[in-house]
Chains A and B, each alone.
Chain A
Amino acid sequence: MIEFVNVTKHYPGRRHVLREVTLRLGQGEMALLTGPSGSGKSTLLKLLTRLEDVSHGTLMVGGVDLAMLRRRHIPADRRRIGVVFQDHKLLMDRDIFSNVALTLQVAGVSGRQVESRVRAALDRVGLGERWREFPETLSGGEQQRVGIARAIVHTPEILLADEPTGNLDPALSTEILDLFRDFHHHGTTVLVATHDQAQVERLGMPVLHLEHGRLMVPKELS
């Protein structure tokens, strides 16, 4: 589903942020992306959503070479992917329903369908009853779950998360990561970047470890 072949990335006027990264994540698989701060985790995820372009090498997502993707096809391509952010990036002036509905609205899903699918997604993350509230009335963990609902409401093939538990206490982290594992069990391809060593050990999932932009051979697989 996701395939990096010798992918290198450098930002203008900077040393390489990713060097010769080669990895493969099959359909329905889940992996954790780890590494110290500045090692290139966020950059790797940004390449997948075409927020950044690959400098060298090939990046295939669902059989599509992203370098070949025309600019005007990027929006449609992004809809195959759900993204969860550490700071959840919710719209504070819109209620929870509208925040989650945005993903469907940009895809042109009609009103009645939006309603039922948003409610289903919120049920899935345990916030079914609170769709009329605004983000600021929710706790950090609840806000993060709204972000997750927004990322999965259109049932994407791929779910990416960039340190989704960075601001949460251990119990909430467990809760959120279990949610991701749940989606993985339902067939979604999941890639989660995290700092949280305790969670990495608890989950026992394949780990992709970055150091200075290089992918280390994961301990678990060696």
Chain B
Amino acid sequence: MNLHARTLALRNARDTLLRQPAATVLTILALSVVLALPVGLFTVLGNLQNLLGHWRNQAQISLYLHRNAGPVAVARLRARLERSPGVVGVRYVGQTEALAEFQHYSGMMAAIRTLGENPLPASLIVELNPLAQSPQILEASVQRWSRDPAVASAQSDLQWVARLQAIVSLGTRAVWALAFLLALGAVLVMGNTIRLHIAQRRDEIDISALVGATRSFIRRPFLYQGLIQGVLAGVLAWLIVMAAIWYLQGPVNRLAALYGTRFPLVSLTPGQGMALVALSAFLGWLGSRIAVGRRLDNTFS
């Protein structure tokens, strides 16, 4: 369709929106809140996963080394471990260190001393990102590593990882379900707004049809109306999420400081923000499309 018709429709849509500024603003606000909610939850979830992923000393595997494993073999194993996916860090605990730790935790020094020599093996402690891989894959990795000639035995507690992953996937699902419902809500909000506009402009639709307007000519201003409001609501939702993150950052900083760490919250990337605006525009368009389609079916039949 030609550019002139589009410009005309765009001007028509703009004029309609400006004629009823209060209604327009309310629609945009409602839509942006509906969108900001799931997007905000996704952002929080992302930050939570981030936090869990960097939570040291939670998911770790101890690989006890053979007494006769040479430094070269150990170094090679260590390099191999560090390259493995999901591995956050590898720490070497020598025999002496192991003894010191044991002493520290158990206080059973006398018993050990009777043995004459240090019975504790050296080990490599592998720290894992608990969310990077499924427990099954982790289990397989542990099996593979324990077959390394330098490794005498392996000890791991992957139960905890499995539980954590189950909780996170439950949370993700819940947010997706909510997001789906709220997206539906956005379509309904827009559909209803456009339906009201259509009711107000019935005459215009009918007369346009009488003088030979095509369906797309009649539909276009309404679609643009939905699109414009969708874009504005998307931008507003983006701002709301950013403001919420900014608002939470202060308390998070104080909390993190109590644990002696720092935890900068991750906000929406520009790409995600654009995606949000695009999605919002699409939902606005879809809502109008449905509403106006129903009206036109009556006009033209």
Q: Is B4 a contact of A49 with CB atoms below 8 Å?
A: no
Query: Of B2, B5, B8, B211, which is within 8 A of A103 by CB?
Result: B211
Q: Is B4 a contact of A83 with CB atoms below 8 Å?
A: no
Known A-B contacts A71-B300, A91-B203, A106-B217; the reply to A78 vs B211 at CB < 8 A is yes
Q: Interface on chain A toward B: helix, strand, loop, or mixed SS?
A: helix
Residue of A nearest to B203 (CB): A91
Complex CA distance for A79 and B217, rounded to whole angstroms: 14
Complex CA distance for A147 and B5, rounded to whole angstroms: 23
Residue of B nearest to A51 (CB): B210
Query: Of A74, A91, A108, A150, which is within 8 A of B4 by CB?
Result: A108
Q: Interface on chain B toward A: helix, strand, loop, or mixed SS?
A: helix
Contact digits for A73-84, partner B, Cβ 8 Å, 1 yes 0 no: 011111100010
Chain B interface size band reads 10 to 19
Query: Of B2, B208, B215, which is within 8 A of A102 by CB?
Result: B208
Q: Is B204 a contact of A78 with CB atoms below 8 Å?
A: no
Chain B residues in 8 Å Cβ range of A91: 203-204, 207
Contact digits for B213-234, partner A, Cβ 8 Å, 1 yes 0 no: 1110100000000000000000
Q: Is B211 a contact of A79 with CB atoms below 8 Å?
A: yes
A110 part of interface (Cβ distance < 8 Å): yes
Q: Is A89 a contact of B203 with CB atoms below 8 Å?
A: yes
Q: Is A89 a contact of B210 with CB atoms below 8 Å?
A: yes
- Give the distance to chain A from B270, nearest Cβ to Cβ, in Å: 37
Chain A residues in 8 Å Cβ range of B213: 75, 106
Complex CA distance for A108 and B2, rounded to whole angstroms: 8
Complex CA distance for A120 and B203, rounded to whole angstroms: 25
Chain A residues in 8 Å Cβ range of B260: none
Q: Is A107 a contact of B212 with CB atoms below 8 Å?
A: yes
Complex CA distance for A79 and B214, rounded to whole angstroms: 10
Chain A residues in 8 Å Cβ range of B300: 71, 74
Q: Can you spell out 14 A-B residue pairs with CB atoms less than 8 angstroms apart?
A: A71-B300, A72-B214, A75-B212, A75-B217, A89-B210, A91-B207, A103-B211, A103-B212, A106-B208, A106-B214, A106-B217, A107-B212, A111-B4, A150-B211
